[in-house]
């Protein structure tokens, strides 16, 4: 492959776009723009325009703020990962935040009556999965559109949450539950985890290249393979070091990454995940090759229910309380769907990645955080969120590889 040298930048961009990591590009661009604006442009502008400022105040890019950003985005990201799975099918889940709310409320009540934290968490995860499966059965076997079923779920579960929490608020002080957000990994352990992660990835890349060569298949372009690795390594190490420089890597972030890795692996590397993409791409095709489309849809809704329950647990852990407005009644649902879509997951199914949902959640979180720091009103926040959603989807549509138009 000596002609690789002559590839132009555009071709390289194309190659990257078509690789598995390629869909990261637009959402990362959006993230970079937002961080650049709030982190660099705004403080410098303030410094130059106001004569009484004595130094530049990089508050947005401070490690403390970035730590908070990660924690704030974790709940949204957990839900967004689940929603991505049903979006891949071409369905939608409007009830995810309400499910998370019901699960969080149930968790609070269980902890209050003295159920051990870990049992309460397991019960709540089961309940969340059941709520998802129940909706999935209505969608797949009765044939009601997912929009309608989950809209009904959204309303019904909001009511259910109010029934469980008549006062609308409940403090959670169970140590196990609070632990997800409170426990911090020791600095060295965080770095070691990062090193191990990158080493495993490097090994996987080398093994894959060697196997491809041994079996006489066309090799991945080395530029793409190692480029991806370097890219992930930079992302992982910079995250760990920034978090370490404030406190340390919180357990919740590690769990979120772990759950996303598992979901990502299932969706991209197993026959089940392939069937999700197949149903999303062309459900008739999936049916003809003998896939049980109905069961796949039910399973996907079970997964989103499970992840919503996990989001509920994370939320209860982080806020130390369960409140109606933080889950079912607030902006969590739209932020999660927005995060998945900003991450480049198609609403028509068949295209997307759960990893992008995390980055999408960071985009939404950064926007809210940055606007808060610059003293913007709630009205400004909403309008900016809408604009950034449109912008991210537009970037994605423009830079999409040929042949996937309309998806």
Residues that bind other proteins (CB under 8 A): 18, 211-212, 215, 217-218, 265-266, 269-272, 274-275, 277-278, 280-282, 284-286, 288-291, 350-351, 401-404, 407
Closer residue to other proteins, CB minimum distance, 238 or 269: 269
Could you tell me which residues come within 8 angstroms of residue 129 by beta carbon, excluding any fewer than 6 positions away?
Answer: 302, 303, 305, 306, 309
Give the separation between CA 396 and CA 106, rounded to whole angstroms. Answer: 39
| Closest separation in Å from C-beta 132 to other proteins | 18
| Closest separation in Å from C-beta 235 to other proteins | 24
Closer residue to other proteins, CB minimum distance, 8 or 288: 288
Give the separation between CA 76 and CA 367, rounded to whole angstroms. Answer: 13
Give the separation between CA 260 and CA 253, rounded to whole angstroms. Answer: 10
Tokens 């019960």 correspond to 123
Give the separation between CA 297 and CA 279, rounded to whole angstroms. Answer: 9
| Closest separation in Å from C-beta 18 to other proteins | 8
Closer residue to other proteins, CB minimum distance, 18 or 68: 18
Contact 223, 6 (CB under 8 A): no
Contact 153, 161 (CB under 8 A): no
| Closest separation in Å from C-beta 92 to other proteins | 17
Closer residue to other proteins, CB minimum distance, 272 or 319: 272
Closer residue to other proteins, CB minimum distance, 383 or 397: 397
Closer residue to other proteins, CB minimum distance, 188 or 270: 270
Q: How far is CA 374 from the centre of its chain?
A: 25
Give the separation between CA 126 and CA 103, rounded to whole angstroms. Answer: 9
| Closest separation in Å from C-beta 7 to other proteins | 16
| Closest separation in Å from C-beta 279 to other proteins | 9
Give the separation between CA 109 and CA 128, rounded to whole angstroms. Answer: 15
Q: In this structure, what DSSP letter does residue 218 have?
A: P
DSSP letters for 103-125: HHHHHHHHHHTT--HHHHHHHHH
Could you tell me which residues come within 8 angstroms of residue 116 by beta carbon, excluding any fewer than 6 positions away?
Answer: 176
Closer residue to other proteins, CB minimum distance, 206 or 234: 206
| Closest separation in Å from C-beta 395 to other proteins | 20
């Amino acid at each position: 492959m000596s002609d690789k040298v002559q590839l132009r930048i555009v071709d390289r961009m194309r190659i990257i776009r078509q690789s598995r990591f390629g869909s990261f590009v637009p959402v990362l661009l959006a993230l970079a723009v937002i961080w650049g604006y709030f982190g660099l442009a705004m403080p410098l502008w303030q410094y130059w325009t106001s004569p009484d400022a004595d130094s530049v105040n990089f508050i947005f890019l401070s490690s403390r703020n970035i730590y908070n950003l990660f924690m704030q985005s974790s709940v949204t990201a957990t839900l967004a990962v689940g929603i991505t799975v049903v979006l891949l099918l071409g369905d939608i889940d409007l009830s995810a935040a309400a499910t998370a709310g019901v699960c969080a409320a149930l968790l609070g009540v269980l902890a209050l009556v003295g159920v051990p934290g870990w049992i309460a968490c397991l019960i709540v995860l089961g309940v969340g999965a059941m709520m998802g499966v129940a909706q999935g059965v209505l969608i797949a076997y009765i044939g009601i559109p997912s929009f309608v079923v989950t809209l009904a779920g959204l309303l019904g579960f909001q009511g259910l949450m109010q029934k469980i929490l008549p006062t609308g608020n409940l403090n959670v002080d169970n140590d196990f539950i609070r632990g997800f957000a409170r426990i911090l990994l020791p600095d060295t352990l965080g770095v070691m985890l990062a090193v191990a992660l990158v080493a495993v990835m490097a090994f996987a890349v080398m093994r894959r290249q060697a196997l491809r060569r041994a079996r006489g298949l066309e090799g991945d372009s080395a530029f793409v393979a190692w480029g991806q690795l370097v890219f992930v390594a930079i992302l992982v190490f910079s995250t760990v070091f920034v978090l370490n420089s404030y406190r340390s890597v919180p357990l919740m972030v590690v769990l979120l990454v772990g759950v996303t890795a598992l979901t990502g692996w299932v969706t991209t590397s197993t026959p089940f995940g392939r069937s999700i993409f197949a149903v999303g791409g062309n459900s008739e095709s999936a049916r003809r090759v003998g896939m049980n489309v109905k069961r796949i849809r039910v399973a996907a809704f079970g997964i989103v229910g499970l992840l919503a329950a996990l989001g509920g647990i994370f939320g209860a852990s982080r806020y130390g309380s369960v409140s109606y407005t933080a889950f079912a009644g607030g902006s969590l649902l739209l932020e999660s769907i927005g995060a998945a879509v900003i991450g480049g997951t198609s609403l028509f199914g068949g295209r997307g990645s759960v990893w992008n949902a995390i980055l999408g959640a960071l985009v939404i979180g950064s926007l809210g955080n940055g606007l808060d720091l610059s003293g913007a009103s709630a009205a400004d926040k909403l309008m900016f969120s809408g604009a950034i959603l449109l912008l991210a989807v537009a970037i994605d549509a423009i830079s999409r590889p040929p042949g996937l138009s309309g998806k």
